[in-house]
Each structure stands twice: as C-alpha cells, then as structure tokens.
Amino acid sequence: MFKKIISFPSKSKSIKLESISLYSVKYSLKPNSPTQKPLDIAPNSLTRSFSSSLIRNGFASLGRRFSSEAARESINYDVVIVGGGPAGLSAAIRLKQLCRENDVDLSVCVVEKGAEVGAHILSGNVFEPRALNELIPKWREEEAPISVGVSSDKFMLLTKKHAIPLPNPFDNKGNYVISLSQFVRWLGQKAEELGVEVYPGFAAKEVLFDENENVIGIATNDMGIGKDGSKKDNYQPGVELKGRVNLFAEGCRGSLSEKIIKNFDLRKKGQGQHQTYALGIKEVWEIDADKHKPGAVVHTLGWPLDHKTYGGSFLYHMQDRQVSIGLVCALNYHNPFFNPYEEFQNLKRHPAIRPLLENGTVLQYGARTLNEGGFQSIPYPVFPGGAIVGCSAGFLNVPKIKGTHTAMKSGMLAAESAFGVLHKGSNMKTYWESLKNSWLWEELHRARNYRPAFEYGLLPGMAISALEHYLLKGRAPYTLKHGKPDHEATHEASQYSPIEYPKPDGILSFDVPTSLYRSNTNHDHDQPAHLRLRDPKVPELVNLPKYAGPESRYCPARVYEYVSDDNGQLKLQINAQNCLHCKACDIKDPKQNIEWTVPEGGGGPGYSLM
C-alpha cells in the first residue's frame, strides 16, 4: 500500500511519494521521472493477495482485530484517471504532451485495478490506428507491439454444417491484428516515460464528492479485510486520490462510471436511450505452422446462435502461430437456458473451424462484456468535476466491431478539455462539443442503425444493414431505437425447454474450471464478496422458479451455482473467486439484484495475450 502519503493543496505541481510497495515489490517513485519502469509480473504468478505477500516477507501468521476505523490519507493531483486501458492511458499521454508543448507542470495519476497494466484488458482485436497516428505519430519507431497487418478479410454465414461466403462489409485495409493487453502495456510505458504516475493493483471503490456534490476524486478500497468483515494484520485503509479534474475510464459497465451516470442523470442529458450490451468470450490458441496465416481475419454470423439472438464469431491470425477465436452474443437474448460459454464450445466444433484448431493448444481464455448501444446510448459525458471516457461512455462502433480507436480518441479529447480547464480556465463542457465535432461522432452517427436493426431477427437485420451500408451510408432520415434493456429481455423458463449441450472433449471444447485456469484469475478467498445481492431472497424466490436460475448459465466463469442445502433445498452459492470481471451478471440479472463491486486491487484475471 502507499507509504508515507502526504496531502498537498494542488497548485499544478506534482507531489512526491517517498516509497510505494506494490504487493511487497518496493518502488521509489518521483512524479515526471522518465526512468520509472512498469511493474514486471509474470502472467502466471498472480497469487498476489496480501496474505501471501506477508508470508513472503516473513510474517508467519495472520491475526485479526476489530479495531476502530483508521483515517484514510489522501493525495492531491491535478488530474486523476480511473482505469489503465486505451482511453485512460491515451488521456494521460495527451495531457503530458500538452504540458510539454506549453511548458506547464500538471500532476497526472492513473489508478488501475488489475495486478498490472493490461491484466484486465480483453478484445478481439483488429486495430484501427487512426487515433494512435494522432497521439503518437512515430509509434512504429517506438516499438509498439503492432506488426501483423490484415492480410485477408472474410465474412461468412454459418449454418450447422456449412460456411456460406457473404459480401464483406468490413474495410480492414491498413488495420492490424494485435493483442490489446500487450498494446495497453506499451501505452502504460509511454505514459510513465512522460511522467504519468501509474498505480496498478489499486481498485477505485468510491466516488468522492464535496459539499456541493462536485466530484473531487476517488477512494481505493481497504486492503486486508477478512470475509467476516474483520481487519487482518495486514489491514491497510484505502487512499483518497483527489483531482481537480477526474476522468473515469473503467471500460464497459464501469462500476463508478455507472453511479455517476445515474447520480447526474447523464443518460437523459445525452442521446437518451439505455445502453445495450454483449458478452464476448475468447481463447488464444497456438496452431500448426502450416495452418497459420498471419493477418488473416474471419467474421461470421449465424450458427451456433439462433436467428433471434444477435451476435457472431471472429477468428484472427496473430503472430507466432497464434490465433484468437471468440464468440460475441448480445445479452438481450430471450431463452433463459441459453449458455454463452457452451455456445462458444459449440462454435469450435464447426466443420469450417475445427480443422484449424485440431492439434493446437489453448494458451489463454477470457471473457468481457462490450457496449453495443452506439450513438443512441451515448450519455452526456461531463459532470461537475470531470468526465467519462472510452467504453465507460460507450463509444464502440458495432458494425466495425471496433472500439479501441474511438476510446482512445475520446480520452484524447477529454485530456485537451481538462488541460484547458487547468491551464486556461475553460470548462469541461468543451469535451462534449469536441466530441460532436470529431470524426468519432461522425463515425458513430453513420453506424447508428446497424445494431437496432437486428431487433427484428437475423435476416431482417442483415437486409436493413445492407441497405444502410451500400445505399444510405449513414444518411437515413431516421434513427432506430433499441428494444428492452437486456435484463428485461429474458423470458420465463416455462416457454422453453432446457438445452442439452455436448460434454467437453478436452481437445477442442473444455469445462469451465479448465478455462478458468487459463485465464490466470485469482482473488484472495478471505475477503468480503465483491458480488452482492441487493435482496438475498430473490434467487430462490424469483430467479430459480421463474427463470430456472439463469445466473448459473450467463456467467462464463461459474461464479453462480445452485446447490442443495441440508434440507435438500436449492440455494444460490456465489464463487466470487472465479470472477473474470466481465460484468455480465450486473447487466443480465432479470431483477437487477446483483451488484458488481471491486474486489481487492490486483485480483481478477491476468491476461497477457488478450
């Protein structure tokens, strides 16, 4: 935890942290130091609970105490950024660039809940470098992990046994197949070289307000709290990070961003419609060299999804004989027996995909939700004290299946507005105006009708999308609306029959525990559950009898299981240690009874290839 933390009034000057210990690895950090190095942690060594840290440091036992609450210490910054993903790091880099261009010294902090930068980042990813070209024009010379250009691009409709080629609506010329987690690590290094203070392993748990309801920062969660609520010997209170400007870049369904959107009613002040979501499940394989075609890109629609469920699959050939394969399914599906994880296993059995993977090895597994609401669902992103950027606001371009370049651009625009606030005395409202005058806004406006078109089913959706793409080109005189929110779309189980999925063969398809092992996910078991039920009676009284316990299926990590108690009654068991931080439960639960909150910092998946 932070040691010897001192709170200073902010006067556009960086402060010093004399010593920082990140899970027993001690740093000496000085803001704006170009030699600061990122924490180097092997992806498979994610046993980073504070209990194990103390053991490594010679403390043999962990006692408990119920002492009075320790006061939180605080650090003041000019800008606090929550989330070390593409949007947050692009914002940090742009801020420091502006500081250098104008000979100004602003302190910038990025706090990231993953054990290291990139550990919680998952995406396809066919990368469009437009925003990166603007942010770091010489990225090729600076050894960005971007080297595999798209070499071929196919689009197919899958039936159970066939793959039917379709006209390709994607234009991936000039794009690259990358690992987003590796790219984000590189962005983190670039940010630190410019003097950004990046703190991985610290989870932002609380939004701080002043007496006028202005956002003034965040507080990280307490460390060393036992499952029973007692304080262990390694207890450390959370730290307050206070910013004159605060940018929230938590990614899709960010827990604090959602609270801010609700608190300031930003959805209505923006484009007005609710957000819609999908769940993406992905594996990275190593395949035979004679099957590997670096830069080959394949997208599909259709099977294994039914015609009423929106989604599709992707298959990208990366470097080093690696391919990423994934299934994306919209979370407004109706059938409560639908299981996204099992549908992904089915995908790999398809005759057009199976031969590619045979004799291969799975290197990594993961899952994450993504925004699909697009233009209609963009909230007003400015609030008193800061702004929301990236996928926390929902800037993903659905028909492109790309959101990294738009997330980065939003972070850059927010940074420019924040610099104007701090250096020129302007207002963060300029961020909203800059968004509406940017290529990001134009791109999302052109793409606005693709996703809601599929509310009418697969074939009508394809027809409307073709009309939009080839004839109207985004100039339609109408804007389609989304259907029900995802949690309201689930039908009662009495309308369906249970789906019998094939058993995993251990070659192409796998059970959940095997996949979880490949995600490197880890949480300290002795901590309060970060997945909370607003009403503990809802699972047994509503979800189980009415919807056949859908949480046991929509979760791709088997966090939720119904088990028999001593009386033979089924009760919901929450295996929070399995959580991949995908946020599907927070979105899909029919009664919105599950609240996703952050666990201890450093917990969760440990992605290195995603």
Catalytic site residues?
123, 368, 404, 555, 579, 582, 585
Strands 215-220 and 204-209: antiparallel
Contact 500, 337 (CB under 8 A): no
Residue 542 DSSP class? I
250 vs 280: CA distance, rounded Å = 17
The continuous run of DSSP H or E covering 215 comes out as: strand 215-220
120 vs 605: CA distance, rounded Å = 6
Contact 429, 151 (CB under 8 A): no
Tokens of 149: 């250009």
Comparing CA positions, the residue from 298, 297, 329 lying closest to residue 156 is 298
Comparing CA positions, the residue from 598, 602, 531 lying closest to residue 250 is 598
The DSSP string of 118-147 is TTT-----EE--HHHHHH-TTTTTTT-S--
422 vs 428: CA distance, rounded Å = 10
Contact 88, 110 (CB under 8 A): yes
Burial class (CB in 10 A: 0-12, 13-18, 19+), 443: buried
59 vs 52: CA distance, rounded Å = 9
* Core vs surface per residue 394-416: b (16+ CB within 10 A) or e: bbbbbbbbbbbbbbbbbbbbbbb
Say how far residue 265 (Cα) sits from the centre of its chain: 23
Comparing CA positions, the residue from 591, 490, 442, 603 lying closest to residue 47 is 603
| 3 state DSSP class of 391 | helix
Amino acid identity, residue 250? E
Nearest 10 degrees: Cα torsion 126, 131, 133, 138? -90
What residues contact residue 467 under an 8 Å CB cut-off, 6+ apart?
A: none
Comparing CA positions, the residue from 353, 336, 337, 356 lying closest to residue 345 is 353
Tokens of 325: 């394969």
381 vs 392: CA distance, rounded Å = 9
Contact 87, 94 (CB under 8 A): no
Whether the upstream peptide bond of residue 125 has omega within 30° of 0, thus cis, is yes
The beta strand positions in 94-194, using DSSP E, are: 108-112, 126-127, 148-149, 152-158, 163-165, 176-177
1 vs 128: CA distance, rounded Å = 37
